[in-house]
Amino acid sequence: QVQLVESGGGLVQAGESLRLSCAVSGRTFRSYAMAWFRQAPGKEREFVSASTSNGGGWTYYADSVKGRFTISGDNAKNTVYLQMNSLKPEDTAVYYCAAARGSYSRDAEGYNYWGQGTQVTVSS
């Protein structure tokens, strides 16, 4: 069983940065397509970023975060990160880490495992 635990959320001002972490246990994260999603109040969960499995090295981003967010992984720590720079108030949401046994997808239904989420709040 794979478990995902997010951390690193918080309250920041617009223009500042945060780094979210997703600690993976049970299996190496390289066995999965890993992704970050977010959900703002009253909105559906939306895709933020993903990386392909088996060290393929491909990364994907939503247009709204491209150039500001970076997904990466640390094999030794079995942890996936989301570096978020130049944060905007519209980035405010609960951020979720997810893992898929199958291929990368921008659809939340394509992911088998989810973390509990971490709150990111960006003030203007």
In the chain, the percentage of residues whose pLDDT exceeds 90 is 86
pLDDT in tens, 34-79: 999 999 999 999 999 999 875 557 899 999 999 999 999 998 999 9
Mean pLDDT of 19-23: 97
Mean pLDDT computed over every residue of the chain = 94
Structure tokens at 51: 């990386």
Q: Place 105 in a pLDDT band, splitting at 50, 70 and 90.
A: very high
Contact 37, 46 (CB under 8 A): yes
Residue type, 88: K
Length of the chain: 124
Alpha carbons 42 and 117: distance in angstroms, whole number: 16
Reduced to 3 states (helix: H, G, I; strand: E, B; else coil), residue 91 is helix
How open is the CA angle 60-67-77, to the nearest 5 degrees?
60
